[in-house]
Chain A
Amino acid sequence: MIRFDDVVLRYPRSARAAVSHITLDAPRGAITAIVGPNGSGKSTLVRALLGRLLPESGAISLDGTPIAQLTRLETARRVALVPQREEPAFPLVVRDFIALGRYAHGGVWSGETPADRAAIAQAAERAGVAEYLERRTVELSGGEWQRVRIARALAQGGDALVLDEPTAFLDVAHEMAVFELLDALAREKRAVLLVSHQLNLVARFASSIALLHAGTLAAFGSPDDVMRGDLLERVYEWPLVVSRDPAVGAPVLVPLRHRAPR
């Protein structure tokens, strides 16, 4: 559904491209993960999806339509996106915050419709935030805040969900809850595109992984194709081994110490 086709992106006044010749697609019904070291271009791809950065060459398309041909509103109706960082300038009530997800579905003067209310309630339920709709965003813990942001994206609707490091700062339980939710959404035929540093979880949940290295695509394929010790060691520039977790049967990355511990 979301397709990057030979995309080259360059920030204004920058000599070198931030990402070059990236081709990958995130189909419906699967989690597609983008991983890679800091600064490898993951968030740049997300910014391009937002139309904040236009491809120098290549195209980003939704079901075959280049997003350059869509308005921001049209894109927002089809792709909900949770950016990496966000801090409201003024504290909001959680329900009002989730309701902002409905922006793309309303007119200039239109109030909340029954469809909006249903989408908001359902999204809150789904993301597990229904019990604190009346709290203010500043009163939320890190985990609650991430789930509220996901709830807003769910209220936004559409067939695709893009998340930029949604589990940063989350503890194990909250992290797993987010991944389980994404898995359930993918099973409902949504396309889930996920930027993450959690390689081990990604290897368990994603159908395919795009590994970025210095703005280029080092590998794109199934978790077993990408989770290879030699490949990851070269990309992350750190000694590591990849084994297979006997309990869950997924590849597991274990970074090594430079020296053997005493």
Chain B
Amino acid sequence: MKPRVYVALLIALALAALAGLALGPVSLSPAAVWSALFGHGDPNAVSIVQALRLPRIALGIVIGAGLGMSGAALQSTLRNPLAEPYLLGVSGGAAVGAVAAVSLHYSSLAFLPIAAFAGALLAVTLVLLVARAAGARGDPRVLLMAGVVVGAFANAAVMVLLAGESADSVRGALWWMMGSLSDATWQGTRWIAIYVGIGGVLLFALGREIELLALGEDPAAALGVDVERATRRVYLAASLLAAVTVAGAGLIGFVGLVVPAIVRALGARSVRSAMLGAAIAGGALVVGADVVARTVRAPAELPLGAVTALIGVPFFLMRLRRMT
């Protein structure tokens, strides 16, 4: 991808972040945002920007980067332009893990991503087993059906876990399940960023293998890839990223689908450049969608996952139509 495309993506991210800092129940001018960032000006504005909006944007960037990279890696590895953690049921599995951890009172910020990761791994294993049982691991549609089935199962499992909880905590859990950045804190964001960083580095290290897996298993093996081992590692790293985003902001679908496609259309030639571009574009999309979620029906807030789904579903249908 040409450097100017990365620059354009970074500008889009910066604009989304600026909108995120300026817009909300209290609108601030860009100048007020600028001075508030450095602790000058109206103390209210300073606390809104620094304590509320900035961590939220930081979390959005990290979540979007994780979803984008995970989607880009899964699409190439599974040779399926419709693959992404949400549609594959991986995010659903992560939600089960996270909800289980919370209901067992193991909800520390450091531990929650690990519980979600365990759930995500279980889900990805199940999806692959279901797809294999259907006898067509290579058929993209079978894989997605398996993902939908596992996702539905995960949803049911979450409902079962929530059954005994108070109405308030059920409401909170459901809100979280629809995706939201509203609970963003610096401390939580830091943990999420660490895990996203680990997952991202792992995926970049696997970049050359992912490139070859996109050719098919036999060609990849012919070129020197240990196919089983490489595939397992990609699933691990991509599931980690998906799980961490779920632990940090709930279920946010379609970002992992839309963003890699945009980056490829912008000319990303290698898997690594697609992942890097998807990380930046994913951050921009999530932060932008969060601005929409906060502003269209202010002071009420829309679930972030609903906004990304409203963007993502038409996109999904367009892609599906082109495939069949």
**How many A-B contacts at CB < 8 Å in the complex?**
71
Q: Does B185 contact A (CB under 8 A)?
A: no
B138 CB to closest chain A CB (Å) equals 10
Distance (Å) between the CB of A185 and the closest chain B CB?
A: 17
User: In the complex, what residues of B have CB within 8 A of residue A234's CB?
Assistant: none
A52 touches B217 (CB 8 A): yes
When distances are taken between beta carbons in the complex, the residues of chain B under 8 Å from A106 are: 208
The residue that A86 contacts in the complex, of B75, B205, B216, B270, with Cβ under 8 A, is B216
Taking CB atoms and an 8 Å cut-off, the chain A residues in 185-210 that contact chain B are none
- Distance (Å) between the CB of B106 and the closest chain A CB? 35
Residues of A within 8 A of B226 (CB): 71-72
A25 CA to B50 CA, complexed, in Å:
72
Q: Does A221 contact B (CB under 8 A)?
A: no
B residues less than 8 Å from A81 (CB atoms) = 222
User: Would you give 20 A-B contacts (Cβ < 8 Å), ordered by A?
Assistant: A50-B221, A51-B221, A52-B221, A71-B226, A72-B226, A73-B224, A76-B223, A81-B222, A83-B218, A83-B219, A83-B222, A86-B215, A88-B214, A89-B75, A90-B76, A92-B269, A100-B211, A100-B212, A100-B223, A108-B208
Contact between chains at A86 and B218 (CB < 8 Å):
yes
Contact between chains at B270 and A103 (CB < 8 Å): no
Question: A interface vs B, CB < 8 Å?
Answer: 47, 50-52, 71-73, 75-77, 80-90, 92-93, 96, 100-101, 103-104, 106, 108-109, 152, 156
Q: Contacts of A96 on B, CB cut-off 8 Å?
A: 269-270
B contact residues, total (Cβ < 8 Å): 25
A72 pairs with B79, CB closer than 8 A: no
B264 on the A face (CB < 8 A): yes
B80 within 8 A of A: yes
B312 at the interface (CB under 8 A from A): no
Q: Contact: A72 with B221, CB < 8 Å?
A: yes
Taking a contact as CB atoms under 8 Å apart, the answer to whether B222 and A82 are in contact is yes
